[in-house]
């Protein structure tokens, strides 16, 4: 009937995309990462519709991980569909998946590397990802099981650099219904049903069990938890940034508290780790007065600034460094990843790389 609007699910997805893109200047290029599944296919269709009316250029990227027979042809099918959705240019990106960190992490790393390269090459202002509220709930559960902190429990952000996730406020049922309303046929990746993958077990077993035992709305509640955790983490991170800047000792040689905790263990430990370029020195007194949640963030920043790889720096490492502040008993050096050592000396904590062993 003339004048009738789109099906509700289609309208919901389009509205979410419109809100996600409302800050982009006309003529900007937006790329959709589309696997051909219901979530990303609904996102791709909505982006083509919204972009044409907002004066934006829109294209599509699909990643062929090469992990399944016929994956190249499926990627080609997604590319062939793109012009009908109003998405040009469209490219299939073939990646090589390594083995580090497990198959899920390796595939994710390869995928994001390919998407980032293509976005830079094409001059894209944004890359849209099809993660939904259900994906967010799964992420929160997975991180909760690992004993993660507030920032990790914040889940996936709606925006991170070039990447945007317009559908985090919508459930998977909405994207499936949107595809049905548009006559699109999503591809069901068999990996999404393979119980060897932890996320699949969370999706197919754990979340349904929680819904059955606790009642409906578990995914929505977990997504709300992520939003609340993100607000808290943002506030704590802002406080920690200011506290870090205040705690850094710019000239350790002229620290007025040099004698406050002088001991031979600290002197010998400092000689073991060095203290030159790249070393970070923090005043202990200021650290001790901070709330623990802020202090641990400050110590993590110092370790990373001194050369510790963020991905390898665990909460356990930071807690060991924290004991040099809160449980000082003359301990020797604490070691964290990246060859970085931490010692307490003359009222300060020094984070520095260990000097290279001399060549004999």
- List average pLDDT for each run of 10 residues in the chain, which is 360 residues long: 80 98 97 96 98 97 81 91 96 82 77 95 98 94 82 90 97 96 88 79 91 91 93 95 94 50 44 62 93 96 94 89 93 92 94 60
Torsional sign, CA 347, 353, 354, 358 = negative
pLDDT of residue 289: 92
Q: Are 25 and 153 within one domain?
A: yes
Would the annotation count 272 as a binding residue? no
Would the annotation count 82 as a binding residue? no
350: nearest Cα among 263, 252, 254: 252
For the entire predicted model, the pTM comes to 0.79
Q: Are 265 and 221 within one domain?
A: no
Q: Are 22 and 147 within one domain?
A: yes
pLDDT of residue 3: 61
Residue 242 lies in a domain: no
Would the annotation count 39 as a binding residue? yes
Residue 170 lies in a domain: yes
CA atoms within 13 A on the CB side of 64: 17
- Which of 177, 203, 232 terminates a domain? The answer is 232
Would the annotation count 52 as a binding residue? no
**Which CATH number is 77's domain given?**
3.40.50.620
The 10s digit of each residue's pLDDT in 212-234 is: 999 889 999 999 999 999 999 99
Q: Are 221 and 296 within one domain?
A: no
pLDDT of residue 251: 67
Residue 237 lies in a domain: no
Q: Are 176 and 256 within one domain?
A: no
Q: Are 261 and 209 within one domain?
A: no
Residue 358 lies in a domain: no
Q: Distance between CA 253 and CA 98 in Å, rounded?
A: 46
The 10s digit of each residue's pLDDT in 9-32 is: 999 999 999 999 999 999 999 999
Pairing of strands 163-164, 334-336: unpaired
Residue 239 lies in a domain: no
Q: Distance between CA 46 and CA 337 in Å, rounded?
A: 44
Q: Are 78 and 40 within one domain?
A: yes
141: nearest Cα among 89, 95, 199: 199
Would the annotation count 322 as a binding residue? no
Q: What does the block give as tokens for 338?
A: 């990246």
Would the annotation count 35 as a binding residue? yes
Q: Are 217 and 308 within one domain?
A: no
Q: What does the block give as tokens for 84?
A: 């009908």
Q: Over the chain, what HEC string results?
A: CCCCCCCHHHHHHHHHHHHHHCCCCCCCEEEEECCCCHHHHHHHHHHHHHHHHHCCEEEEEEEECCCCCCHHHHHHHHHHHHHHHCCCCEEEEECCCCCCCCHHHHHHHHHHHHHHHHHHHHCCCEEECCCCHHHHHHHHHHHHHCCCCHHHHCCCCCEECCEECCCCCCCHHHHHHHHHHHCCCCCCCHHHHCCCCHHHHHHHHHHHHHHHHHCCCHHHHHHHHHHHHHHHHHHHHHHHHHHHHHHECCCHHHCCCCCCCCCHHHHHHHHHHCCCCCCEEEEHHHHHCCCHHHHHHHHHHHHHHCCCCCCCCCHHHHHHHHHHHHCCCCCCCEEECCCEEEEEECCEEEEEECCCCCCC
270: nearest Cα among 223, 327, 332: 332
Residue 360 lies in a domain: no
Residue 243 lies in a domain: no
252: nearest Cα among 354, 352, 347, 355: 347
Pairing of strands 163-164, 159-160: antiparallel
Domain count, the chain: 2
Q: Are 255 and 175 within one domain?
A: no
pLDDT of residue 271: 44
Q: What does the block give as tokens for 314?
A: 């665990």
- Which of 200, 232, 264 terminates a domain? The answer is 232
pLDDT of residue 355: 60
Q: Are 226 and 289 within one domain?
A: no
Q: Are 280 and 340 within one domain?
A: yes
Residue 238 lies in a domain: no
Q: What does the block give as tokens for 311?
A: 């991905």
Q: How many residues does the chain have?
A: 360
pLDDT of residue 358: 39
- Which of 172, 206, 232 terminates a domain? The answer is 232
Q: Distance between CA 189 and CA 167 in Å, rounded?
A: 19
Q: Are 193 and 337 within one domain?
A: no
CB 355 within 8 A of CB 274: yes
Task: Give me the domain span that covers residue 274.
Answer: 248-353
């Amino acid at each position: 009937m003339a004048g009738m609007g789109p099906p509700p699910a289609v309208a919901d997805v389009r509205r979410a995309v419109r809100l996600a893109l409302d800050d982009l200047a006309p003529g900007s290029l937006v790329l959709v990462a589309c696997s051909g599944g219901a979530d990303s296919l609904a996102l791709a269709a909505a982006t083509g519709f919204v972009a044409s009316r907002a004066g934006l250029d829109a294209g599509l990227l699909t990643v062929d991980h090469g992990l399944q027979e016929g994956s190249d042809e499926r990627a080609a099918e997604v590319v062939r569909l793109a012009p009908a959705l109003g998405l040009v240019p469209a490219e299939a990106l073939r990646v090589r998946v390594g083995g580090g960190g497990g198959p899920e992490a390796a595939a994710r790393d390869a995928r994001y590397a390919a998407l980032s390269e293509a976005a830079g090459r094409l001059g894209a202002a944004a890359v849209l990802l099809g993660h939904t509220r259900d994906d967010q709930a799964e992420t929160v559960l997975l991180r909760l099981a690992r004993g993660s902190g507030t920032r990790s429990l914040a889940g996936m952000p709606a925006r991170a650099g070039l990447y945007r996730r317009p559908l985090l406020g919508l459930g998977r049922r909405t994207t499936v219904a949107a595809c049905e309303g548009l006559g699109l046929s999503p591809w069901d990746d068999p990996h999404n049903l393979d119980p060897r993958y932890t996320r699949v077990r969370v999706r197919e077993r754990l979340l349904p069990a929680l819904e059955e035992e606790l009642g409906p709305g578990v995914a929505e509640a977990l997504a709300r938890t992520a939003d609340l955790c993100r607000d808290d983490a943002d506030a704590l991170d802002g406080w920690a940034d200011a506290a870090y800047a205040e705690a850094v000792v710019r000239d350790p040689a002229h620290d007025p508290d040099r004698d406050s905790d002088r001991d031979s263990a600290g002197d010998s430990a400092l000689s073991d780790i060095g203290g030159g370029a790249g070393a970070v020195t923090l005043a202990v007194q200021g650290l001790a007065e901070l709330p623990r949640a802020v202090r641990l963030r400050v110590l993590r920043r110092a370790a990373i600034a001194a050369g510790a790889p963020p991905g390898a720096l665990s909460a356990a490492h930071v807690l060991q460094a924290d004991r040099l502040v809160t449980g000082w008993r003359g301990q020797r050096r604490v070691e964290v990843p990246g060859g970085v050592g931490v010692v307490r000396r003359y009222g300060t904590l020094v984070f520095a790389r260990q000097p290279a062993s001399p060549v004999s």
